[in-house]
Amino acid sequence: MAKVKSSYFCQSCGYESPKWLGKCPSCQQWNTFVEEVVEKKSAGIPDWRNTTHSTVSRANQPHKIQEIAYTEEHRLITPDKELNRVLGGGIVGGSLVLIGGEPGIGKSTLMLQLALTLPNIKVLYVSGEESEQQIKLRAERILNNPFSDCYILTETSTQNIFKQIEILEPNIVVIDSIQTLHSAHMESTPGSVSQVRECTAELLRFAKESNTPVFLIGHITKDGMIAGPKILEHMVDTVLQFEGDRHHVYRILRAIKNRFGSAAELGIYEMQGSGLREVSNPSEILLSLREEALSGVTVSATMEGMRPMLIETQALVSNSPYGTPQRSSTGFDTKRMNMLLAVLEKRCGFKLGAKDVFLNIAGGIKIEDPSIDLGLIAAIISSHEDIPISHKICFAAEVGLSGEIRAVTRIEQRIAEAEKLGFEQIFISKYNKKGLDLSKYKIGIQTVAKVEEVFELLFG
Tell whether residue 102 is among the known ligand binding residues. Answer: yes
Helix ranges (DSSP H) in 386-437 = 411-420
Tell whether residue 411 is among the known ligand binding residues. Answer: no
Contact between residue 206 and residue 165 where contact means Cβ atoms under 8 Å apart:
yes
Max CA distance (Å), the chain: 85
Contact between residue 96 and residue 218 where contact means Cβ atoms under 8 Å apart:
no
Half-sphere exposure (Cβ direction) of 219: Cα atoms closer than 13 Å: 16
Task: Tell how strand 393-396 and strand 297-304 pair up.
Answer: parallel
Measured distance CA(208)–CA(363) in Å, rounded: 40
Query: Sign of dihedral through CA atoms 229, 232, 234, 235?
Result: positive
Tell whether residue 104 is among the known ligand binding residues. Answer: yes
Tell whether residue 268 is among the known ligand binding residues. Answer: no
Helix (H, G, I), strand (E, B) or coil at 455: helix
Measured distance CA(366)–CA(215) in Å, rounded: 26
Measured distance CA(310)–CA(74) in Å, rounded: 34
23: Cα separation from own chain's centroid? 31
Tell whether residue 108 is among the known ligand binding residues. Answer: yes
Report how far apart, in Å, the C-alpha atoms of 59 and of each of 56, 62, 219, 302 are. Answer: 10, 10, 37, 50
Tell whether residue 105 is among the known ligand binding residues. Answer: yes
Contact between residue 357 and residue 341 where contact means Cβ atoms under 8 Å apart:
yes
Tell whether residue 79 is among the known ligand binding residues. Answer: no
Q: Is the peptide bond before 300 cis (omega within 30 degrees of 0)?
A: no
Contact between residue 232 and residue 225 where contact means Cβ atoms under 8 Å apart:
no
Tell whether residue 183 is among the known ligand binding residues. Answer: no
Of 212, 208, 211, 269, the residue nearest 240 (C-alpha) = 269
Task: Tell how strand 214-218 and strand 172-176 pair up.
Answer: parallel
Helix (H, G, I), strand (E, B) or coil at 197: helix
Task: Tell how strand 425-429 and strand 444-448 pair up.
Answer: parallel
Annotated binding-site ranges: 101-108
Annotated binding-site ranges for ATP: 101-108
